[in-house]
Chains A and B, each alone.
Chain A
Amino acid sequence: MPRRLPRLLSLLAVSAAALGSCSLAEPAVLRLATTTSTADSGLLDAILPGFEETHNARVDVVAVGTGQALELGQNGDADVILVHARSREDAFVADEYGLARYDVMYNDFIVVGPPDDPAGIQGVASAAEAFTAIAEAQAPFASRGDDSGTHTKEQVIWQLAAIEPDPDQGWYFSLGQGMGETLQFAGERGAYALADRGTYLFQRDNLPGLVTLFGGDSIAENPDPVLHNSYGVIPVNPALHEGIQADLARQFVEWLTSLETQEKIGTYGVEVFGQPLFYPDSEAYRQAHP
């Protein structure tokens, strides 16, 4: 028997045990399943510490696509979800996976593409017209293709345009990836893409090959209400699975929609990007700012 091997194994065992015992007795943990747009934009990092301090809780953020976030809620693997696909959120509540849906905030979608705009979408009146022009020119279009909220919105716009994009024609790329990867693909390949403005603004410095071609420079200039991007928060129904942190989830919803948190959401990003990445939209906020 080699002398070294058991010694190494016991060393590994001891270090694993020592590292394992590091985890402390922790405060209550709330699991939030949300979209990559809220997490990757840095918004949650900016506001969540406020909740964690006042409620002696830790929020574990699982950032996935809206489809996966809803699935996690449905399976009882998240206590609360924060997503952006209104029709699917309503279905989630109607199917009693969630208790209720509350407005939280909104921003908008834009169509980005190469500066030379080969399909000539600059100046058209609606997102559907822009998509029609892209399809007619068979200009490259990068789709999330991942069942996310942005992908859901993109499908709505194709329906409005009465076009069913066909990946076999070679101009429509269904990537099955996140917003960041999709924007990078569009930038490299000179393709158009539907993006949420927050993520685009956050990554714009890394995307020299893209400009905003439809949707204007801020939400106030966006001509098409279809591109409105509303975020809702839904506490998961605790009756379906054991172990859902229902009380903490309710407190989280109250905190997220409270006037104080909403003001913070409304100022996040202003300093760096010259405009907020998300606009507060809870009932409390709307009442205070009619």
Chain B
Amino acid sequence: MEWPANGSALWEIVGLTIRVTGTALLAGSILGIPLGSLLAFTRFPGRRFIVALVYTGMGLPPVVVGLVAYLLLSRSGPLGSLGWLFTPPAMMIAQTIIALPLVIGLTMTGLEAVDPQLRLQIRALGADRSQEILTLLFEARAGVVAAIVAGFGGIISEVGAAMLVGGNIEGQTRVLSTAIVLETRMGEFEFALVLGGLLLSMAFVVNVVLMRLQHRPPYWPGR
């Protein structure tokens, strides 16, 4: 049997995968890194409870996130008037929710691992609050990048949510992971494997880029 997808369809799938996962990762990082910093640097009643929630969220099954997102975005749900179900924005929202606890949790642990002495030192040198946090984030960059990497890994490969709220519609919401499920279901194991290789290569390239960020020589802000 001939291969089910031609070249342009394949690039469409790859393009959408980058778009959906990239947007979700960006949103997850923009929200998650500040929230993780907040949890690391502040002490307030109920903090331990929130941390436990975040850690639990790191194990959220994508299909459960997808189900909740489906019920919210369905025309019979509260956000149905947006008309987002079975469109890329629905997938981006679901994947952001999956990535968020991973980014928050690992950012927090990364920051907490920074030597407390350093914080005192920075303050003694006259840094204001934002300079202090940015410096600590930089010191903890290995952890922060690991947080982004974990978020990325959690969503590039997930199927459950993408299938449920995306619908795997050809040319519209089909991404690599759902295409792999489809080809497997149709018994096209070889093509599914090729798609799997493609997904892994993409993940590899992204991770190499992110790792370069981890190993930059120290650089002090405001100099």
Closest chain B residue to A244, Cβ basis: B75
Quick one: which of A3, A9, A20, A60 contacts B172, CB cutoff 8 A? Answer: A60
Closest chain A residue, CB of each to CB of B218: A2
The answer to whether A9 touches B29, judged by C-beta atoms less than 8 angstroms apart, is yes
A16/B26 contact (C-beta < 8 A), A75-B74, A181-B185, A203-B187 known = yes
Q: Which residue of the partner chain A has the closest CB to B137?
A: A1
| Minimum CB–CB distance for B210 against chain A, Å | 8
Q: Which of B77-85, B95-103, B195-203 contacts A (4 or more CB under 8 A)?
A: B77-85
Cβ of B184 < 8 Å from any Cβ of A? yes
In angstroms, Cα B142 to Cα A5, docked, is 12
- For residue B221, CB closer than 8 A to chain A, the reply is yes
Q: Which residue from A60, A180, A202, A243 sits with its C-beta under 8 Å from B86?
A: A60
Q: How far is the CA of A285 from the CA of B15 in the complex (A)?
A: 42
The 8 Å CB contact of A60, one of B18, B138, B169, is B169
Task: Tell whether, in the assembled complex, residue A76 and residue B75 are in contact, meaning their CB atoms are under 8 Å apart.
Answer: yes
User: Hey, what's the 0/1 contact readout for A193-209 against B, CB within 8 Å counting as 1?
Assistant: 00000000011011100
Residues of A within 8 A of B170 (CB): 45, 61
Instruction: Decide: A241 near B76, CB < 8 A? Known: A2-B213, A62-B167.
Output: yes
Closest to A202 in B: B186
Q: In the docked arrangement, what's the CA distance between A62 and B141, Å?
A: 42
Please tell me if A36 contacts chain B, counting CB pairs below 8 Å.
yes
A184 within 8 A of B: yes
Within 8 A of A (CB), among B152-204: 167-170, 172, 182, 184-189
User: How many residues of A sit at the interface, in one of the four size bands?
Assistant: 35 or more
**Which chain B residues border A15 with CB–CB below 8 Å?**
22
* CB pair A16 B172 closer than 8 Å: no
Q: In the assembled complex, which residues on chain A have CB atoms less than 8 Å from the CB atom of B44?
A: none
* Chain A hits for B80, CB < 8 A: 76, 241-243
Q: Which residues of A contact B25 (CB under 8 A)?
A: 12
Q: By the criterion CB–CB under 8 Å, are A77 and B213 in contact?
A: no
Chain A residues near B219: list those with CB within 8 A: 2-3
Find out whether the CB atom of A13 lies under 8 angstroms from the CB atom of B26. Answer: yes
Whole-angstrom CA separation of A205 from B184 in the bound complex? 14
B187 touches A206 (CB 8 A): yes
A63 at the interface (CB under 8 A from B): yes
Contact between chains at A16 and B221 (CB < 8 Å):
no
Q: Say whether B75 contacts A178, CB under 8 Å.
A: no
In the complex, chain A residues 172-190 whose Cβ is within 8 Å of any chain B Cβ: 178-181, 183-184
Further contacts, 4 of them, CB under 8 A, given A2-B213, A19-B19, A180-B187: A60-B167, A77-B75, A77-B85, A181-B185
Q: Which B residues are closer than 8 A to A by beta carbons?
A: 1, 15, 18-19, 22-23, 25-26, 29-30, 74-77, 80-81, 83, 85-86, 134-135, 137-138, 141, 144, 167-170, 172, 182, 184-189, 209, 212-213, 216, 219, 221
Which A residues contact B (CB, under 8 angstroms)?
1-5, 8-9, 12-13, 15-16, 19-20, 31, 36, 40, 45, 60-63, 74-77, 178-181, 183-184, 202-203, 205-207, 241-244
A–B complex contacts, Cβ < 8 Å, 27 sampled = A1-B134, A1-B137, A2-B138, A2-B141, A4-B216, A9-B30, A13-B26, A15-B22, A16-B22, A20-B19, A40-B186, A45-B170, A60-B167, A60-B172, A62-B86, A62-B169, A75-B74, A179-B185, A180-B184, A180-B185, A183-B187, A203-B187, A206-B188, A207-B187, A241-B76, A241-B80, A243-B80
